Structures are given as structure tokens and as C-alpha cells.
Structure 1
């Protein structure tokens, strides 16, 4: 185990966190990188609090990293958050605040993801990833949401066109920088 300092993490559990399935830390082998595709952390929190399932829970990542590098935990790693279809039981979701395609996520004319990720945000992500590697013995893999959910859906502006359901973290995410800093292997769907 490393002697790195624990990154500063603000604990802000979602109201339904106790309703999320519990899982052993040893079962976690994957980190999934997302971007919120929303303008700010407050709106991401609002979306995360929405109840969408009969269980009384909704969609959320475990950690959120704002543009200034501040880290918030909405769901503890021992709970299964709903953030990526088919991989939730084994993964941790990290959401980076970034507008992505907001507010026209599925409009075929609005598929560019051109907001860069600030250095402070990426530095905080690397600190968090290194901490997770130090504290989760089974953690081996990392992936972008776009690599695990490759489904195409009907464009909101043109039923004849298909667009990616998920594109995050997108083309401006600095994969080389992140992969050089952590001992995780990339995973694709």
C-alpha cells in the first residue's frame, strides 16, 4: 500500500443511498469515467437525486469532480450505483463536471463535445484514482462510458438518423495523461 495522502473528499450521500445494493469491496475491479453532460455540479446533484426505479433509487456515479478539482462522494464504493448498464455490480462511476452535449444530448446536429477538462479537474481525478488503486485490492481496469455503452439511438431531431447513446467522457478527455499516472488497464465493452 502506498503512503499517498488521502485526497480531500466531501461526503454528500444521496438521499436513497441506503437503498442501493451492498457489495464487497473485493468485487470492484473497474472504474468508469463519465462526464455529467450538465452545466454544473448543482444540476448533477439534482439529476442524481431523481428517483427512477421501483427500489426508490436513481442514476448516479459514486464520485463527482468539479472543474476546480473538488471531489464529492454521493455513493460509497460499498454500494452499487446505477451509472453504466451491465457493469454496475463491479464498477465505480466517476463523473467529471462537463457540459458535453447539454442540453441537446441526442440531437444529430449537436454531437460535439468540445469543453476541455481543466488541469485541476484531471489532477484531482488522478489523485482519486491513485487512492482507489491503493485501497481496492481487485481494481484492475478503467474505461470511458462511451467504450462500455456503444448503443446507437434515434436522433431527437431526425428519426432516420442514429447517434451514440453515450459519448462521455468524449474526445477531449486526456487518456494518455491519466493512464500514465495509474496502474489500470483499459477495458472495452
Structure 2
């Protein structure tokens, strides 16, 4: 069966060619993120920042899904994007535009992630996951960023408290629905 029709806007990040190439068979995991930024334009600005001077690379997912359901490809899945410590070589990162804890990500008194994901985002995500499952036969697993990076750090507003470095995609992500509608299973680190 051919993959469902899914329009994707492709706009590679400036450093995409510097990211390591990888074989398709190496990709067995999709990691779901939320941008924790106000909009797609700000996410793009963050994605274009070179954070690793020695390699000329930055942090980014592969796909971004805006609130209206448009899907953007910024890094080819055949390249290793920097999106989840320890899991990048084997995974595809999918970022959902959502404010999360923006702009006080690490404040102890601002840890709620209360912006719901839009129906258009979830429909587009499920369609994308179907396409990826057909395009990458080794793809078996799905996880949230929060399940893979459980690091805690001192809170910026109160160093006597700790907060989780990553909480995305957060408590409002519809895991039950997504797992019902795609053939991927939850990855347990």
C-alpha cells in the first residue's frame, strides 16, 4: 500500500550537509518533541543557530508540524540531527509547535505545559508516522523526549529546587490516540 498523501514543505537548515549521514536501516525510533517556543519562525531561528563551533551544527528535529498541520522538513532523515541526547544516530525527531514552558523553561514556578496540541497537528503527525513507517522498514518504536532525557537541573529561579530539563511533548500529548492509530510501539529506555 502506498504511503498516504502528505504535503511536506522542505527547507533544509543551512548546516544540514554537515550532519552525519546514516543508512536507512539504522533508523528504528521516532522521538516526539514540542518546540517550547511561541511559533514556527522562532523555532526556525533556534534551529539555524550554530551551537557546536567545531562541526558548524546546531540543535534541530527533522520534521516540524505547525499548529495548522503543515509539515516542514528541515533535516533529511538520512542525516543525524541533534535533538535527543544519546538517541540521535537511531532516531527521527518530530517537533510540534507548542509554547510548552516558554520562555521560562527551567523556572521551578513555571513547569506547567498547558497549551493543547491542535487537531490539525495530531492528524498531520499520524499521517507523517504512517509515511515514515512505510519509508523506513526498521522503524518500530516511538518515544517522547521526556522519556529519553530524564535529567534534572537546578531551577533558574530557585537553585535549591530541581526541575526536569525536558518535559516534552508533555501531559497534553494524546499518546493513547497516536499509539492506537500507528503501528509503532512505545520505546522503553
Show the 5 A alignment for 1:111-150: 111-150=111-150
User: Partners of 1:31 and 1:5 in 2: how far apart?
Assistant: 18
Give the CA RMSD over aligned residues.
0.6
SS in 1 for 2:25: helix
Instruction: List gaps (5 residues or longer) in structure 1.
Output: none
Calculate the TM-score normalised by the size of structure 2: 0.98
The answer to whether the 8 Å contact 2:64/2:94 transfers is: yes
Tell me the alpha carbon deviations over residues 108-166 of structure 1, each in whole angstroms, 9 at most, x when there is no partner.
00000000001000000000000000110100000000000001000001111000000
Q: Which digits, 9 at most, give the CA deviation of each residue in 1:57-104, with x for residues without a partner?
A: 100000000000000000000000000000000000000000000000
Provide the residue aligned with 2:76 in structure 1. 76
Note the residue ranges of structure 2 that are not aligned, 5 or more in a row: none
Question: Match of 1:23?
Answer: 22
Distance in 1, matches of 2:172 and 2:4, equals 28
Match of 1:44 in 2: 43
Q: 1 CA distance for matches of 2:175 and 2:12? A: 29
CA–CA separation in structure 1 for the residues paired with 2:79 and 2:141: 18
Q: Distance in 1 between matches of 2:178 and 2:43?
A: 23
The CA distance in 1 between the partners of 2:158 and 2:140, in whole Å, is 40
Q: Secondary structure at the match of 1:72?
A: strand
**Range that drifts further, 3-12 or 84-93:** 3-12
Say whether the 8 Å CA contact 2:33–2:145 is kept in structure 1: yes
Matched residue SS, 1:160: coil
Output the TM-score relative to the length of structure 1: 0.98
Is the 2:4–2:130 contact (alpha carbons within 8 Å) kept by the matching residues of 1?
no
How big is the shift at 1:6?
3.1
